[in-house]
Structure 1
Amino acid sequence: MTVPLMLRTAAVLMFLTALGGLALAATRAKMDRPPSWMAIAHGLLATSSLTLLLYVGFTVGLPGLMWAGIAIVLAGAAVGLYLNLAYHERHKRLPVTPIALHGLITAVGLFIVALGAFGTGTNNP
């Protein structure tokens, strides 16, 4: 698998994760707590995309902007982990503000990663 293909695969996995996050948010609008299988699938997709990005970053190297995108995604993932551990696992109602914060932070990171993965600039590995 080539580096550009791995980066694009990671970006597509992140996009699918974002779609799952939108589905989770829509489900949360209708009920206090989305089903566990949805939250688990969302987390697994996110983890797989981040693992692939970090693998490429540590073995081949990435431009600084891609690392910034990864850092932003990791910050968003930390909010998601907090939501899972503090609310979802304890069967508590998920608060809307951290959900929105999680989505917004991670969307910015995804945008930056996608620019690096699909961009046509000279910094694209």
Structure 2
Amino acid sequence: MEPFQMLQISTYLFGIAALGGVAMGFVRFTSGANPPSWLAMLHGFLAGAGLTLLAYAAATMNVPAFAYLSLLLFAGGAAGGVFLNLHYHLRQIPLPKWLVIVHAGVNVLAFVLLCFAAFAGA
């Protein structure tokens, strides 16, 4: 498989995961309650699949520098997501809004960088 094709598929996976993240953010900020667990798990699964594919491409192929930076940021964002899930969501404690915003901001920046890497150089 071509490096840019792998980056593009990773971008699609992250894009679908981002739609779930927007839905979860909408639930958290409008109702004050945590989003449903099934949506959080689907969001994490899709993001994890995108991260795994991105890491594989970065480790085995020659990819643009933006892809490596994106990988680092997504890994940090994933760590934040795992923390949100394990420390707050599973204990049914309301997710801190500031931490949700930081998680989203890091991942949006990573997504933009991945889009540049996947589509600008192809």
User: How would you bin the TM-score normalised by the shorter chain?
Assistant: over 0.9
Assess if the C-alpha contact under 8 Å between 2:67 and 2:114 holds in 1.
yes
**Structure 1 match to 2:45:** 44
- Scaled by the length of structure 1, the TM-score of the pair is 0.91
**Structure 1 match to 2:111:** 110
Assess if the C-alpha contact under 8 Å between 1:32 and 1:92 holds in 2.
no
**Structure 2 match to 1:21:** 21
Q: Work out the CA distance in 2 between the residues paired with 1:46 and 1:20.
A: 10
Runs (5+) with no aligned partner, structure 2: none
1:77-105 CA-to-partner distances (Å, cap 9, x unmatched) read: 11111110110011111111000000001
Q: Which moved more, 1:3-12 or 1:109-118?
A: 3-12
Number of aligned residues: 121
**Structure 2 match to 1:8:** 8
| CA deviation after TM superposition for structure 1 residue 65, in Å | 2.1
- Scaled by the length of structure 2, the TM-score of the pair is 0.93
Q: Which moved more, 1:39-48 or 1:71-80?
A: 71-80
**Structure 2 match to 1:68:** 69
**Structure 1 match to 2:93:** 92
Assess if the C-alpha contact under 8 Å between 1:32 and 1:93 holds in 2.
yes
Q: Work out the CA distance in 1 between the residues paired with 2:100 and 2:85.
A: 10
Q: Which runs of 4+ in 1 moved over 4 A?
A: none
Task: Report the residue type matching 2:7 in the other structure.
Answer: L
Identity, in percent, stands at 34
